[in-house]
Copies of this chain bind each other. A is one copy, B any other.
Amino acid sequence: MTETESHLDHYLNSSLDNYIQETAQLCAQPSISAKKQGMNACADLVVQILERHGFHSQKFETPGNPIIIGRAQGGSERTLLFYNHYDVQPPEPLELWTTPPFEPSIRDGALYARGAKDDKGEFIARLAAVDAARTAHGGSLPCNITFILEGEEEIGSPHIAQFVREHIDLLKSNAAIWEEGGIDYEGYPGTSLGCRGILYVELEVETLKRDAHSGGAHIIPNAAWRLLEALSSLKGPQNEIRIPGFYDQALPPSSKDLELIEALPDFETWARDTYGVKEFVGGLSGKDLNRAIFNSTCNIAGLSAGYQGEGLKTVIPARASAKVDFRLVPEQDPEDIFNKLRAHLDREGFADIDLKKVGEMWPYKASADDPFIFLSAHTAESVYQRSYRLTPLTGGSSPIYAFADPLGGIPVISAGVGYADNRTHSPDEHVRLDDFLNAARHISRIIYGFSDLS
């Protein structure tokens, strides 16, 4: 270990508790974008926190929730950009949380709260890394650092793309670290070279003015059955998506993609144990589970119709609705898919199904050969003492597309506090303190090495 590295680590080891407390403080402030709950208060808290760590911060109003930019000058012309978000997913179902989602609780070496990992824990770990780099560098930063935090990531980032285009001057940078990262289910660090896009829609149908008694079900049309027929038309027996033209723009994996996948372990056992899966989609197993990342998906995220309480109620539901998200591989365009979905429903006789777009994001894919990726790999290997794993694509979605292109094709990587069982988006979300520390160590090394990259 170099002297610099031991400075960085010493600082982070001795001040970890403070950063965990700061994460808890931020998590205690609800900020549920889907319910418009606590957004402005949380944005103000983020500004306070950035100022506390030496960032000149500005809060920008948008048609949705505020976007915050924090900037700190360093000793080189190069700028590293961090993207994070201060909004969180809804905490429901509440009854499955061991401790309440907005009352952060430390137990068994981890901090439990909604947002502890996604994305408040990630944000504070980065501030820890910045502080460490500043301390080890004699009180000034080795490069410029810019933070951008939005409050609508969990609802599809509807305003970030336009905001970036309108604030290029403030966001100019040479590389970016995305909202999250960490180690995989086997404890290996790594990054993904891209992510899938998403189209999130709501399908709703109304067959009656109001619910009817089910004694009339031989003639009165049932909205739940109608919705089921429409949903069933979306997928074929092999889980293929039946919307005509759906796959037209989908790029198949490249030979480099397949090579990277070959180098990765399969995660079948891990996924079986973690989720209690008996049979995977399509009966897949082994390495085929990795390769399936290049399959676009049609996922039912929610279904609702009629009586859902205890016992029985004999009604014909007048209304039924479904929330559906499509994960899209590179070159698929969510706006194009939305139009094709509407056309498909009309063509199949489902013009009565109301279709509403709730969110959309485009896919993103980077080059495996960028020096910034080598910097991340090298520093990660020194922290985690394990080889760095490159994944061609991840299953989730993020607004990377809204940054990478407008900022001149900069490389964007992941680095952070995650591990395989953080329960992101689920009850008992948490971040492990060791992971938090290692993320800060890794990122502080990236900051340190960044000004020397050609």
Contacts and interface: CB of A to CB of B under 8 A. Distances in A.
A222 B358 contact: no
Contacts of A215: 196, 327, 394-397
A109 interface: no
A264 interface: no
A232 B295 CA distance: 25
Nearest to A303: B305
B198 A280 contact: no
Interface string A111-123: 0000000000000
Contact of A425 (B213, B310, B322, B425): B213
A311 B281 CA distance: 27
Interface stretch (A125-133, A159-167, A313-321, A370-378): A313-321
B314 A34 contact: no
A221 interface: yes
Contacts of A219: 271, 280-281, 284, 289, 292
A267 to B, nearest CB: 9
Given A214-B327, A218-B297, A300-B222, A155 B208 contact: no
A395 B216 contact: yes
Interface in A422-442: 423-427
Interface string A200-240: 10000001111111111111111011011001100100000
Contacts of A155: 311-312
A340 interface: no
B300 A306 contact: yes
A303 to B, nearest CB: 4
A395 B218 contact: yes
A61 B385 CA distance: 71
B228 A313 contact: no
A139 interface: no
A325 interface: yes
Contact of A427 (B198, B210, B308): B210
B209 A275 contact: yes
A224 B203 CA distance: 14
Contact of A325 (B34, B214, B221): B214
Contact of A303 (B208, B209, B306, B394): B306
A168 interface: no
A276 interface: yes
Contacts of A424: 213
A315 B302 CA distance: 8
Interface string A382-409: 0000000000001111000000000000
Nearest to A237: B229
Interface stretch (A4-12, A76-84, A89-97, A100-108): A89-97
Contact of A313 (B90, B296, B352, B397): B90
A156 interface: yes
Given A275-B209, A307-B301, A313 B34 contact: yes
Interface string A150-190: 00001110000000000000000000000000000000000
A14 to B, nearest CB: 35
A275 to B, nearest CB: 5
A422 to B, nearest CB: 10
A450 to B, nearest CB: 29
A303 B327 contact: no
A360 to B, nearest CB: 11
Given A219-B280, A302-B313, 13 more contacts: A33-B311, A89-B313, A96-B210, A200-B312, A215-B395, A220-B271, A220-B280, A225-B300, A228-B300, A301-B315, A304-B304, A311-B358, A314-B396
Across the A-B interface, the 4 shortest Cβ-Cβ residue pairs: A215-B395, A215-B396, A34-B311, A209-B276
6 contacts: A33-B311, A209-B276, A218-B292, A220-B277, A228-B232, A228-B300
Interface of A: 33-35, 89-90, 92, 96, 154-156, 196, 198, 200, 207-222, 224-225, 227-228, 231-232, 235, 271, 274-281, 284, 289, 292-293, 295-318, 320-323, 325, 327, 352, 358-359, 394-397, 423-427
